[in-house]
Structure 1
Amino acid sequence: MVEEVKTYHAEVTRDGRFWLIRVREIDRSTQALRYKDVVTMANELIEIMDGVKEDEYDLHLEVHLPSSVKDHQARAEVLREEAQRKQAEAAAEHRAAVQELLALGVSQREAGEVLGMSFQRVSQLAKSS
């Protein structure tokens, strides 16, 4: 029979210069100066308070950030997705320009010179039609 592993939930917030770590299941807190130390500090707290070893439980972090930070992150994601779409559109337009020049009898090397692209890029675009 497989024994179920207990999961501890650590709520992490910024508190002045420190990261405050509150482990719900043991109703205790600790802190870390750097975010990279949050997991270590949470594990140490759990091990001291509950007497379990790190490989005997799972730790789930819930990082609570200010709403303004979440807003910036959400906006950045929207912009990143928009940039990806725009990049795909730009590639399609480059491809169309290359194909039109080649259809006019311009060589790939000349098309690259005219469009400010390398011969290799023109060749790639010509093959991706």
Structure 2
Amino acid sequence: MRTYHAEVSRDGRFWLITVREIERSTQALRYKDVRAMASELIEIMEDLGSDEYELEIDVQLPRSVKDHQDRADVLRRAAQRKQAEAAAESRAAVQELLSMGLSQREAGDVLGVSFQRVSQLAKSS
């Protein structure tokens, strides 16, 4: 099965869609219509049915948008690491309180969490 590649970029008020393999372009007013417009172009120009090819969409974003997305990814990964560190510290706090002889209910009251959460933390240690 043949694969077609549609390169999509913003062009004023429209999305410009260029299908490399057939060297033709079309446009869409809304992004949600990009796939349908690219498919229609391929089917008309190549005389194909929708089940006779695959379509890959490649959105060309401005460098500034890519930079924001890259920074957001870095921050998300850092947040995940910090979340894991926070969970480890919570488990350590629970273990220390329990080793001091506090009940799970007491440990929850002291830490400001439910005794069910204390139980979860104690089991995951």
Superposition deviation, residue 28 in structure 1: 1.0
Asked if 1:72 is matched to 2:68, the reply is: yes
Asked if 1:110 is matched to 2:112, the reply is: no
Alignment correspondent of 2:25 = 29
Asked if 1:7 is matched to 2:3, the reply is: yes
Asked if 1:124 is matched to 2:120, the reply is: yes
Q: Give the counterpart letter for 1:8 in structure 2.
A: Y
Gaps of 5+ in 1: none
Q: Name the CA distance, whole Å, in 2 between partners of 1:110 and 1:14.
A: 59
State the Cα RMSD in Å: 0.8
Q: Name the CA distance, whole Å, in 2 between partners of 1:92 and 1:122.
A: 13
Tell me the number of residue pairs that the alignment of Structure 1 and Structure 2 aligns. 125
Superposition deviation, residue 43 in structure 1: 0.5
State the TM-score, normalized to the length of structure 2: 0.96
Superposition deviation, residue 7 in structure 1: 1.5
Q: Name the CA distance, whole Å, in 1 between partners of 2:105 and 2:2.
A: 64
State the TM-score, normalized to the length of structure 1: 0.94
Alignment correspondent of 2:81 = 85
SS of equivalent residue, structure 1 residue 14: strand
- Deviant stretches of 4+, over 4 Å: none
Alignment correspondent of 1:55 = 51
SS of equivalent residue, structure 1 residue 19: strand
Percent identity over the alignment is 77
